[in-house]
């Protein structure tokens, strides 16, 4: 089972926090040395009180640094840490000087950056070395240790920030994948059911008109309605599974059959050569969407479907003679730019929107899912989509896709 990115990062953060608490055990050495000298009660209380303040500030700093609020450090925690470290020097003596810089430099890395961090490290080195020299201890190697520790904790801080950004990026990628899958499913569901439900509606209306005059034909039409409904159910199942691919020949056959049933004269002009698989699939989607909209909204009496193919492109053109109510054809650019909004803005006829709004007052020209989905498919393959009214009357949809889409 794959663990989510945020869970992995949270688990690592908990481990580092636990490790920061373990580092407090280092204070046991100067404390043990101090208690072995038989100090007075006030000095014992001083030592334990100072260590308690230092521990609290240390934990607050580490928890803050290893959280989503690491960019907003609590300055009071660092001030308390420095104050406690300085207050413990007279009590715990040189052993404390060998330990205190670990907490101070790490705290500086967590709460400051840039010039502030460098200045804080230099002051810590000066104070530590000065205190040890005052007690007759010449340990110049400790300066190198402190510089090395400053570099190490600064690098760990930067790595922590990078890991946090990586975890956020992985979560965003996962969310984008979910959003894209939802978009795919919504588009496929619309493209799958739009044509099928239109066919069911037309056949049901025809069967209702024939029920009294020709019961046998009405029964046959209702049988076809049942078969179409079962086909729609299978297509929805395939869309959910993600492997449904329409065939151009089947879509052309269905489009011609449904258009002729609705009283539209259909002319299909095939391509002069074979069309590769991926390009054929895109054109099949275009045939389905165009035929559906002619059936639902155009009021056309004739429709011509023309296919073409050359060495670089495959093309589908669907023309009808329905009423023209839109401006000249608008194009989707072949470079895949998101021009769907421009394509659908303005007073476009509902026939080409695929939203079932033609003839509804105030709804003509509303942006629909059908043409939007088709535009996204074609643009994703590097093709172009032209749609709109023709100057001589009627409507035209033209989809061009590159053969390398296959």
* Residue 42 exposure: Cα atoms within 13 Å on the Cβ side: 0
SS in 3 state form for 206-241?
HHHHHHHHCHHHHHHHHHHHHHHHHHHHHHHHHHHH
Query: Which has the minimum average pLDDT: 5-19, 32-46, 74-88, 175-189?
Result: 5-19
Q: Which of 175-179, 217-221, 340-344 has the highest mean pLDDT?
A: 217-221
Whole-number pLDDT of residue 348? 38
Residue 378 domain-assigned? Answer: yes
Residue 234 domain-assigned? Answer: no
Residue 276 domain-assigned? Answer: yes
Output the domain CATH number for residue 361: 3.30.565.10
pLDDT, average across residues 322-327: 56
| Closest listed residue to residue 389, CA positions, set 359, 346, 356 | 346
Query: Which has the minimum average pLDDT: 190-204, 268-282, 358-372?
Result: 358-372
Whole-number pLDDT of residue 244? 56
Residue 109 domain-assigned? Answer: yes
Residue 181 domain-assigned? Answer: no
Query: Which has the minimum average pLDDT: 203-212, 299-308, 356-365, 373-382?
Result: 356-365
Whole-number pLDDT of residue 44? 92
Overall number of domains in the chain: 2
pLDDT, average across residues 149-162: 79
Whole-number pLDDT of residue 45? 94
Whole-number pLDDT of residue 304? 92
Q: Are residues 397 and 272 in the same domain?
A: yes
Choose one of 107, 139, 171: the last residue of a domain: 139
* Structure token digits, residue 261: 């049933």
Break the chain down into helix, strand, coil percent, rounded to 5: 65, 10, 25
305 is in which domain, residue-wise?
Answer: 247-406
Backbone phi, psi, residue 379, to 5°:
-65, -35
Q: Are residues 394 and 276 in the same domain?
A: yes
pLDDT, average across residues 45-66: 86
Other C-beta atoms lying within 10 Å of the C-beta of residue 93: 15
Residue 389 domain-assigned? Answer: yes
Residue 253 domain-assigned? Answer: yes
Choose one of 105, 139, 173: the last residue of a domain: 139
Q: What is the tens place of the pLDDT at every residue in 264-289?
A: 899 999 888 888 888 888 898 899 88
* Structure token digits, residue 180: 């894209």
Whether pLDDT at 201 is above 60: yes
Q: Residue 101 is inside which H or E element, if any?
A: helix 94-111
Q: Are residues 126 and 254 in the same domain?
A: no
Q: Are residues 125 and 267 in the same domain?
A: no
pLDDT, average across residues 337-360: 36
Q: Are residues 273 and 405 in the same domain?
A: yes
Whole-number pLDDT of residue 312? 87
Whole-number pLDDT of residue 136? 86
Residue 224 domain-assigned? Answer: no
Whole-number pLDDT of residue 67? 59
Choose one of 139, 156, 187: the last residue of a domain: 139
Q: Are residues 127 and 274 in the same domain?
A: no
pLDDT, average across residues 7-34: 76
E strand residue ranges, 274-354: 302-309, 313-320, 330-332
């Amino acid at each position: 089972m794959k663990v989510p990115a945020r869970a992995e990062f949270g688990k690592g953060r908990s481990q580092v926090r636990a490790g920061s608490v373990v580092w407090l055990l280092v204070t046991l050495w100067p404390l043990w040395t101090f208690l072995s000298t038989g100090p007075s009660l006030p000095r014992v209380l001083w030592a334990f009180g100072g260590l308690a303040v230092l521990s609290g500030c240390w934990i607050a700093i580490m928890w803050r640094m290893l959280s989503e609020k690491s960019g907003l450090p609590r300055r009071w925690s660092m001030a308390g840490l420095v104050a406690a470290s300085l207050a413990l020097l007279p009590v715990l003596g040189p052993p404390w000087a060998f330990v205190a810089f670990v907490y101070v430099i790490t705290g500086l890395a967590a709460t400051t950056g840039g010039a502030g961090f460098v200045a804080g490290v230099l002051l810590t080195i000066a104070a530590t070395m000065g205190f040890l020299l005052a007690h007759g201890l010449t340990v110049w190697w400790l300066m190198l240790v402190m510089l090395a520790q400053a570099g190490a904790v600064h690098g760990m801080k930067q790595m922590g920030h990078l890991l946090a950004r990586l975890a956020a990026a992985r979560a965003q990628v996962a969310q984008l994948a979910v959003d894209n899958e939802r978009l795919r499913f919504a588009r496929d569901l619309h493209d799958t059911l739009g044509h099928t439900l239109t066919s069911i509606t037309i056949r049901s209306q025809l069967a209702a008109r024939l029920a009294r005059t020709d019961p046998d034909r009405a029964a046959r039409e209702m049988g076809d309605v049942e078969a179409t409904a079962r086909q729609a159910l299978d297509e929805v199942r395939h869309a959910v599974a993600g492997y449904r691919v329409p065939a151009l020949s089947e879509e052309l056959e269905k489009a011609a059959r449904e258009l002729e049933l609705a009283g539209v004269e259909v002319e299909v002009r095939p391509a002069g050569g074979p069309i590769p698989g991926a390009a054929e699939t895109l054109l099949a989607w275009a045939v389905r969407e165009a035929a559906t909209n002619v059936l639902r909204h155009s009021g056309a009496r004739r429709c011509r479907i023309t296919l073409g193919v050359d060495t670089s492109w495959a093309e589908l053109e669907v023309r009808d003679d329905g009423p023209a109510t839109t401006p000249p054809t608008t194009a989707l650019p072949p470079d895949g730019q998101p021009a769907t909004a421009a394509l659908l803005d303005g007073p476009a006829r509902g026939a080409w929107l695929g939203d079932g709004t033609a003839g509804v007052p105030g709804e003509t020209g509303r942006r629909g899912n059908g043409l939007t989905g088709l535009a996204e498919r074609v643009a994703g393959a590097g093709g172009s989509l032209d749609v709109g009214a023709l100057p001589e009357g009627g409507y035209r949809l033209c989809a061009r896709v590159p053969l390398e889409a296959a």
